[in-house]
Structure formats: structure tokens, C-alpha cells
Structure 1
Amino acid sequence: MITPALLPLLLVAFALPSILAQVVSPYWRKPDITASPAERINLAGAALAKAVNQLNPAPQFFRELLSLSLSTRYNLTSLLSANATSGAVAGCKGSFYGQMAEFDLITKQTMWEKSLKTYFQVAQSAHVNFSTTKTYGRAAALAYAAYKDQTFLDYAMQSWWFGRAYTLSQDDVSAGRISTKNLSSLQEVCQNQTMVGGTFWLMDPVKPKLIPLSTGLSALLAEATSDQLYLQAAIESRKFIQAHLHNDLNIVLEAIYAPQNYSCDVINEIFPYNTGITIEGLSILAALINDTETQNLLEQILAAAIPYS
């Protein structure tokens, strides 16, 4: 069965066969891609259509709804309310909307444009400035790239500005605090490198983890608008990831703790989405600034990611 979690792999399968042919994991059962581009497009399109059919009117995935408690499922109003405020569910929805837009962008179609307009309107009503998850901003930026509809660009910028309030600036690290968090003194440097560019994972005022997921949206907006504000943010995020969340295997790590009392502790867990979003952001950034350091980092992470998967 094709599930939403498999869709990014299907998109990669028809969009990037040359990369997969260069370096493959020894654990992959069938590393060779023999399907034609048209067949890969049809497969990815069918996967998206299958996933859309699993959406309810909210819209969100029935499978996620069924993961709630039995008592909650019996009350439709409570069920929808519980899902509307769930960051995990919203993140899944935002990622899926991005896959829909990306499919149209790659195939030069507008198959999902009308649906995405409706989905984003619902999401905006439930989460002002798409505050629950950063995935909506990326999805909106991809939708703008696909359809050139200003509404999607506005959504992406709203999401970026909300996330910016949770991203460390030079003023924040110099002051040892950020206004959106109730944390003890923040680290100014770790491993002799500035903490500028790190974005907090959660809005909760006491959650202390900085994550590597902001490069992609900043780079997408820099590409879409040519605004130096977004470009500088993408560069700062790249430097943060390279300094603090890029290990010796060239894999992107989960997070680093921001407060001084955590002594620069890094969470060494490895999740594919961190590396994937970083690759996307670096690829756009490298094209925008033609920077050798960014290009080298991109190539290192890309070469390591596929065999490691």
C-alpha cells in the first residue's frame, strides 16, 4: 500500500535517478531504477491521489484520526478539535501539501492547485501564521514556485516571520536570551562557533532544543523574492548546521540545547528528514550564492545520505 510517508521517495525516484545511480545503500533490495520517467510520474501521481482519498473534510488523514482515544473518536467535534491543534498531525499535513505542490512543480502541471488553495485556507483558519508547524511554510513556498500565485507566497512569508521569532539572531546570543523563550542564559558559542541561525523546535517557552529545519524555507523564499533578508537567514542557518549539527559522517543530527546549563549537549539521533530538508536548502543556497563552502557541504551530505539510509 502506498502511504503518505512513501511519497517523498517516489518523487525522488522519478526526479533524481542520476543521483541514486551514483551512490546506493548496500541494504537496498532493488537499487536500480528501470522505470521510464513517464512511469515514475504516473506512480507518484497515483500515490498522491491515493493519499488525497484518505483525507477527511478537515482535511487530515483518517489514519491519524484513528490513533486518538476511542472516547475522542466518538465525539466528532472533539476529534476535529484535537487534530486541529496537534503539531504532529499538522506537520504531516504540511509535508503532504508540499509533496502535492512539488509534484506539480516537477511535472509542470496545476493538478493540485485548487485543492491546495482550499487546504491552506483551512490550515490558516486553524493555525494563525501556520504557527503549529514549519512544514506549512515550505509547502506554501513550493506552491508559489509551481503556480506563481501571490497568496501562496504570502502564506510562506507569514510562516517564515513566525519562525523567525524563534530563531537566534546576533542580538539574541549577545544578550543571552530571546524574547519568545523563558530560558536561562543562552550559549553564545558552542565548539567555538556562534549559535546564530539556530531555530527552536517548539513554541513552548521552556523547550530548549535548536533544530536544523529552517534553511529550506529561507532558501526557498530567497529564491522566490531575491530578498537579502531571506538569503542572509539561509546562510546563517547553513553555518549553524555545519558548526553544530553536522557530524563526522556528514549526517545532520537532531538538535542541540541552547541554554548554558546544558553545556552545548547535542542530540545525536538521526532522522532522514533533517538531512533531506538540509540538502534541499543547501542546493538552493549553493545556486543562489555560488559559494564553494556551501557546495562542498551539500556534496558531502548528499554523498553520505543515500548509503546511510
Structure 2
Amino acid sequence: MIDHYYNRRNNQNSLHRRATFGGSNLLLRPSPWEEAVILMGPFISGILLASLLRTVAQQVPTSWRKPTITVSPADRVSLAEAAIQEAIKFIDTTNGLFPDPENSYGGSGAFYSQLVEFDMATNQTQYEPLVEQYFFLAAENLGGLGATNFTGELYVSHKYLSDYGNYGHAAALALSAYKNSQYRVYADQVWWAVQPYTVAPSDVKAGFMTQKNITIISTCAGITVAGGTFHVAIQDKTPSDSLVNVLSTGGFLVLSALLAEATGEAIYLHAAEASANFLTNHLLNAKHIVQDGMYVSTTDSCQLAAEINQISYNTGLLIEGLAILYSISSNSSFFDLIQQLVTAAIGNSAWQENGNGIIANGVAKSSDGLLPRALITAMTRNAIAPALQSIIKAYLSVQYNAVVDLATTHGSNLYSSSWNGPPSTSFSPGNQSNAIQVLINSIGLNNHTTVAQTNHTTVIETSTSASMSSTGIVAAPTSSVSAFHKSSQVGPIVGSVVGGLILLLGILAGIFIWWR
């Protein structure tokens, strides 16, 4: 019998084989070549993975529309501020909310977040007084209606838990940006309002969700359903009553992670990890696209929401939550998954129209501010491999140019639901908020980002940034055919990455077996 172990001598590891012959133990040292192959195998695999990831990342599809921002940083700030000021005109000064709060309630909370994000991006506190005023008015107005924790049923007839999460996100950001302890109170109020509708291990053990008054399944595919947050809070006895979806679960993940980051308290960290585990175990498909949700009552048999609901913001929320968790723990598993999610997201042709790179969800080709927000969150928290940073900047540049060129009429500061156009002539909180998110995100991109594209070679050149490393790369030749038709150019390259890794691992395994 032969087994293997590491012998530590003089603070060095050397691989030996122990052989047993006739009751005697013999220590056999492999040849230097054998030892090098075995010890260097994981290192070689890592080198190849990094190299292949770099090849994947740097090939900006030639069909992407305007992956370069030529607008000056000062003008980007001005455009973002003008869009914000346009939205402020529509806030009701008596309650701090947009008109028709039954339908726009969540949008008001999202807008609060963007006021804070603008201040963070411009390194100032311009909107701090306004954010404080809006939170006070919203909380006071809801309190007058007998509601608490930003969960006013008179405002939100269906009580979507994701709407409450927007206020928590804004409060958590404001806590970090403005260092005002009152925002910890607001964020905690939202967290404790949503937490009872998040499946706990005790709920799984009991097989019953008291707050929902429904029996729940304990596992799907042998994995616990703990960590999922329900879509709605009311007990309406409709099929959606048992839906656990990404907007709620991912929103709770991001809120919990932000609070863990700001406070260092374990209760938030554990909640964030549970949410992330639910999403990755149950809603992440083989293509690394996050599905919309799953029904968890005992009569649903773990049924997934319709595939048509695989919207870009679902993947965005998971990326954002994992990026914040990675900034806390430096867990390499989070980092690796983020790279896979990002690669899948920016190359998913289902979210683009004719492969132009512009986010366009569903039949309506609707926009989404959450995926761009997630990409910026990951970049600023050093949760993106250097090889992917250039293509992410190009992708964000595509969104920015679409918003500025196609989704608005010059000078109106009103934005449409589709970034492919046509421009809008009326105000919509959701449309405006999505556009503002992209405008704010552009502020932090490098001042000079150029992506030269031809039909044969893609050249990416970026200046260095204090927070994001960048390089000038000449990518491998690409086909003169349009980069996207029905599927993304990124997908086949990912396949070659996997194939190359499998081949390498097969060779190393063969050498190892032969050596034994």
C-alpha cells in the first residue's frame, strides 16, 4: 500500500510516499520532477484560470454601442445633478414621497439612496439635509397613519417587502456617509420589519411560517429553504403568497450586509450569509443567471417562477450583496462567484437588444439601475479581478451613453423606461431613478476611458484610477461577424475557459495516477 503525506523539514514542505512491504514501512521520496508536478499543479491551474479569464474579459463585443465615455467628469456630475433636481420637483413636501405612493412608494426610498450615492460619488454632503428631511417626513406621516418601520399598508396595498428594503438601503448608506446615528435607527426599523418574513431554521423545523400562516416545505433538492424572504407580507391566500423572490431576498441580503459592514454585528452578517446561501442554492441556474423566485409552500413542490422573469436586477442584487460580504470577510468563494456572475450578466443576450449591450429586459425592453449599481459596488470594494475591470467599465459606458443619447431629450432631464428610446415626455419615478443610477455610476469611472473597436481586434486603453487598477490590452483577434446574434460572444469564450481547465486537470490527474 502506498499513501502520501507532507513532511515538514527546515520549514519546507516535501511530498513523500510511504510504502508498506512485508510489514515494514519504507519512505520513498519522489523525483524532483514528480514533486514539482504535484506541488505546482494547483498553482499552474490558477495561472491558467487567470490567463483565460483575462482573455474572456478583454474582448469587448464589436456590436456594443459606444463603450466609451467622452463626456468630461464635470459634465457627468452636472447631468446627474440635473436629473436629481428634476425628480425633487415631484417630491411631496408634506410627506417626502413621490405622487401616488401606493405605486411609487418603493421608488421614493430608492431615490433617497441615490441622493446619498451622489454625495458619496462627489465627496460632499450636499444632499444630507434633504435626506434627513425626507426620512423624517416619511416616518412621521406613516406614524400618523398608525404604521411603523416604513411599512404603511395604506401606501402599499400589497406590502411588497422589497419596497421597504429600499428605505433600509438608503438609511444604511446614509449611516456610512453622514455618520448620523439616526440612520441606524431607520435602517434597523426596516430590517426588523422584513426579518420576520425571512424563513428561519426554526420555521423550517416547524414546517410552518407564522407570519404568513402557511405550511412550508423544509428543503428543496435536499437543501434548506432557510434564508429566503417572501415577496409580500400580507396573507392573501393567492399563489404569490408563498413566493420567495430575489427582490425581497436580495434586498434583505444587501441591507444585512451593509449593516454588518457598518456595525460589525454578527446578527446582520449571519442574516446576509443565509440570504446569499438561499439565492445561490435555489435560484442560481447553470448559466450563472439568477432566477426570479421559488414557491415554498408544501403544495408548490419547490416550483420556480416563470423563466421570463429572469431579469437583470436579480443577478445585480446577488452581485451587490456578495461584494459587500467579500469586503467584510475576504472570502475567496464570494470573490470567485462574483466573477462568474459578472461574466454571465454582461454577456447575457436576453438582456440586450440586438447585442448592442444596452440593458433591455423583457418585451418592454425596460431598463434597470440595480445591475449597474451592483457592478460599481463590486468595483469599489475590490471584488472584481483586474482582468474584468476594463470590460465592466465599457459595459457601464454603454449604459451611460444610451441613457444620455437615447432615453432623454436634450435639456428635458426626463428619462424613459427604455434606454434604447424613444425619449419620455413625462415624469416617472421608476424611470427617472433607473437613469439617475447610471448617471451617478459614471462619475466614478476613469476620466479617460477609450475602447477602440474593429472587426478584427479590440483594444482597450484606460488610465489608472486610485480605486480601480486598469491596463491597456490588445485582445486576441475576433471574427469580423457581429459579436452578437442570438447569443453573446462571451458565452463561447467561457466555454473555452471551462474546457481548458478540464483538459489541464485531466492531464494532472493522469500524471498523478501514473505516478501512484
Aligned partners of 2:319, 2:340: CA distance in 1, in Å? Answer: 10
Aligned partners of 1:156, 1:222: CA distance in 2, in Å? Answer: 12
| Residue in structure 2 matched with residue 232 of structure 1 by the alignment | 270
Give the C-alpha shift of residue 304 in structure 1.
Answer: 1.9
Q: Does 1:243 align with 2:278?
A: no
| Residue in structure 2 matched with residue 155 of structure 1 by the alignment | 186
| Residue in structure 2 matched with residue 122 of structure 1 by the alignment | 137
| Residue in structure 2 matched with residue 55 of structure 1 by the alignment | 91
The answer to whether the Cα contact below 8 Å between 1:24 and 1:307 also exists between their aligned partners in 2 is: no
Aligned partners of 1:279, 1:224: CA distance in 2, in Å? Answer: 19
- After superposition, residues 214-293 of structure 1 pair within 5 angstroms as 214-267=252-305, 268=307, 269-293=309-333
CA 1:285–1:237 in 2, change beyond 3 Å: closer, same or farther?
same
Aligned partners of 1:284, 1:165: CA distance in 2, in Å? Answer: 23
Aligned partners of 2:319, 2:331: CA distance in 1, in Å? Answer: 15
Aligned partners of 1:158, 1:173: CA distance in 2, in Å? Answer: 25
Q: Give structure 2 stretches of 5+ with no counterpart.
A: 1-56, 152-158, 349-358, 360-516
| Residue in structure 1 matched with residue 430 of structure 2 by the alignment | none
The answer to whether the Cα contact below 8 Å between 2:96 and 2:133 also exists between their aligned partners in 1 is: no
The answer to whether the Cα contact below 8 Å between 2:290 and 2:314 also exists between their aligned partners in 1 is: yes
Calculate the aligned-residue CA RMSD, in Å: 1.9
| Residue in structure 1 matched with residue 383 of structure 2 by the alignment | none
| Range with bigger deviation, 273-282 or 107-116 | 273-282
2:288 aligned partner, one-letter code:
N
Aligned partners of 1:117, 1:200: CA distance in 2, in Å? Answer: 29
Structure 1, residues 169-193: CA drift from partner, whole Å, max 9, x if none? Answer: 111111111221111x211111222
| SS of equivalent residue, structure 1 residue 130 | coil
CA 1:53–1:302 in 2, change beyond 3 Å: closer, same or farther?
same
Match of 1:140 among 163, 166, 171: 171
1:227 aligned partner, one-letter code:
E
| Range with bigger deviation, 233-242 or 185-194 | 185-194
Structure 1, residues 38-64: CA drift from partner, whole Å, max 9, x if none? Answer: 3322322222122112223233334xx
Give the C-alpha shift of residue 95 in structure 1.
Answer: 0.9
Aligned partners of 1:150, 1:306: CA distance in 2, in Å? Answer: 37
| Range with bigger deviation, 167-176 or 204-213 | 204-213
Structure 1, residues 197-245: CA drift from partner, whole Å, max 9, x if none? Answer: 1001111124111122221000000000000110011111111000111
Aligned partners of 1:24, 1:48: CA distance in 2, in Å? Answer: 31
| Residue in structure 2 matched with residue 105 of structure 1 by the alignment | 120
Q: Does 1:36 align with 2:50?
A: no
| SS of equivalent residue, structure 1 residue 128 | coil
Match of 2:105 among 46, 71, 90: 90
Which protein is richer in strand relative to its size? Answer: 2
Aligned partners of 1:35, 1:266: CA distance in 2, in Å? Answer: 43
- After superposition, residues 176-191 of structure 1 pair within 5 angstroms as 176-183=207-214, 185-191=215-221
Match of 1:211 among 245, 254, 265: 245
Aligned partners of 1:121, 1:278: CA distance in 2, in Å? Answer: 30
The answer to whether the Cα contact below 8 Å between 1:211 and 1:255 also exists between their aligned partners in 2 is: yes
> TM-score with structure 1 length normalisation?
0.80
- Between the two proteins, the alignment pairs up a number of residues equal to 266
Aligned partners of 2:209, 2:90: CA distance in 1, in Å? Answer: 41
> TM-score with structure 2 length normalisation?
0.49
| SS of equivalent residue, structure 1 residue 210 | strand
The answer to whether the Cα contact below 8 Å between 2:96 and 2:135 also exists between their aligned partners in 1 is: no
